[in-house]
Amino acid sequence: MHSNSALREQVRSQAEDRPGVYRFFGPGEELLYVGKSVRVRTRLLSYFRAPRGDKAWELVNEASRVAWDYIPNEFAALVREMKLIQRWQPRFNVQHKRRRIYAFVKVTREPAPRLLPVTRVVDDGATYYGPFPRVVALLRTVREVCHVLGLRDCPGTTPIFFDDQLEIFNAKRPPRCLRADLRSCLAPCCGRTSSAEYRKAVETARRFLEGRAEAPLHEVEERMREAAERMDFEYAALMRDRHERLRAFRDDLVAFRGRVEDLTFVYRVPGFRGDDRLYLLRRGRIQRDLPYPKGRKARERAAQAIDDVYGERDLGPGGLEPEDAAEILLVARWFRLHPEERRRTLSPERWLEEKRPA
């Protein structure tokens, strides 16, 4: 059992009040918790004053070691904290972290992929689209996209049999759910679709989530028109409502993506004891950071880095890696909570115009 007083004395004698990220480790070097602070020493000492039963008391009681790294500024500390949490999923962070305010659509990595609304991005081989701002509406919208395109929403354990496999199995299989019976699903559970046809529907869904396809809207419009022609006005009204929801989702998607696009700039951040940094952000992701250039050669190196980062071909919207998604959320939230920080940003073109050596 560790000694709380020994840990407290280590912090008191060695830690400094400067920005950084700290980590509590348990027995066997398990990473229990990651945190950040602009005053590491003060923040760490506060854990040792927590009352019995408090989360901080439980953490210190279980910890066998504490470590910290100094980082020039709060913005960089936030990024470092996020990356460590994403990578290690410390137990105390996972249990006590506040819920995210955005959601994602997960396209699973399965023979017949599914679309799932989720609030966390994990490293599971799936592709994630987002972040999307309308969390509550996302569940219904994803379900409607699946119905329009015929994508399955059954459990991941459901056996899959594409019709191009039937020669091997030599048997027709009964549908496994009501959607298959009603023909609102391509039904890969019973060999009613080929793997190529199903992949095509998944690709259409991906393109819709990227704002590059109108096919789901056109499909609903066609069903609405057909229902009106056969005077099935009740079904036509259902399709009209579905069309309005999908269109609103598409509009939100495009609008939010515009706000993410707006997070493309060069960002100067003052640092502890003059360690100012320059962050090159593109679509809300930090592509590179470097010391703020204070001389001609340093400005030449910074200009080259800016040319490299912003000169790369823009691949447009697409699926996100888990760490990328978390970083977009962090950066968007940082500038939303600190709008005055926008004054420290310049477009790449303006930075080069003003700072590149003649």
Give per-residue pLDDT as tens, 257-302: 777 889 999 999 999 999 999 999 998 999 999 999 999 999 999 9
Q: How far is CA 275 from CA 266, 271, 288, in A?
A: 17, 4, 16
Interval 119-143 mean pLDDT: 81
HSE (side-chain half, CA atoms, 13 Å) at 332: 22
Domain ranges of the chain: 4-96, 103-253, 262-355
> Is residue 178 pLDDT above 80, yes or no?
yes
- The mean of the pLDDT values for the chain is 88
Which among 34-38, 159-163, 328-332 has the top mean pLDDT?
Answer: 34-38
- The token pair at 48 is 């040792």
Evaluate whether 128 touches 142 at the Cβ level (below 8 Å): no
HSE (side-chain half, CA atoms, 13 Å) at 97: 19
CATH 3.40.50.300 fits 4-96, yes or no: no
- State the pLDDT at residue 175: 77
- For the chain, give the percent of residues with pLDDT over 70: 91
Interval 175-194 mean pLDDT: 87
> Is residue 189 pLDDT above 70, yes or no?
yes
Q: How many C-beta neighbours within 10 Å does residue 331 have?
A: 23
Determine the Cα–Cα distance for residues 325 and 328; give it in Å rounded to an integer. 5
0.95 surpassed by pTM? no
